[in-house]
Amino acid sequence: MFEWIREWILKLIGRDKKISLGFYGAPNVGKTSLANRIAMDLAGEPVGIVSMVPHETRAVQNKERVVLHVNGYKLTMNLLDMPGVAVKVDYRDFLNYGLSVDQAKQRAREATKGIIEAIKWMENVDAALLVVDSTRDPSEQVNVTLLGNLEARGIPVIMVANKIDLENSNAQKYKETFADYPLVPVSALNGTNMFLLYRKIGDAVKTRKKASM
Is pLDDT larger for residue 116 or for residue 89? 116
pLDDT of amino acid 45: 80
Q: Residues 124, 19: contact at Cβ < 8 Å? A: no
pLDDT of amino acid 71: 38
* pLDDT at 2 exceeding the cut of 50: no
- CA geometry: angle at 122 spanning 144 and 78, to 5°? 120
**Domains of the chain, earliest start first:** 3-202 (3.40.50.300)
Q: What is the mean pLDDT of residues 24-30?
A: 91
What's the whole-number average pLDDT of the chain?
A: 80
Residue 93 DSSP SS3? helix
Q: Residues 124, 20: contact at Cβ < 8 Å? A: yes
* pLDDT at 54 exceeding the cut of 80: no
Q: Which H or E run contains 115?
A: helix 101-120
Q: Of the ranges 56-60, 97-101, 108-112, 151-155, which is most confident?
A: 151-155
Q: Judge if pTM exceeds 0.95.
A: no
Q: Which H or E run contains 207?
A: helix 194-212
Bridge partners of 131, per DSSP, are: 160
Bridge partners of 69, per DSSP, are: 74
* pLDDT at 120 exceeding the cut of 70: yes
Q: Which amino acid is at 105?
A: K
pLDDT of amino acid 104: 83
- Tell which residue, 15, 6, 47, 44, has the closest CA to residue 129: 47
- Burial of 128: CB neighbours in 10 Å, binned 0-12, 13-18, 19+: buried
Distance CA 161, CA 188 (A): 10
pLDDT of amino acid 204: 60
Q: What is the mean pLDDT of residues 13-34?
A: 81
* pLDDT at 58 exceeding the cut of 50: yes
DSSP letter at 82 equals P
pLDDT of amino acid 115: 87
Confidence at 95, pLDDT banded by 50, 70, 90: confident
Confidence at 75, pLDDT banded by 50, 70, 90: low
pLDDT of amino acid 159: 95
pLDDT of amino acid 136: 94
- Tell which residue, 195, 149, 192, has the closest CA to residue 5: 195
Q: How far is CA 153 from CA 64, 145, 156, 166, in A?
A: 23, 13, 9, 33
Q: What is the mean pLDDT of residues 165-194?
A: 94
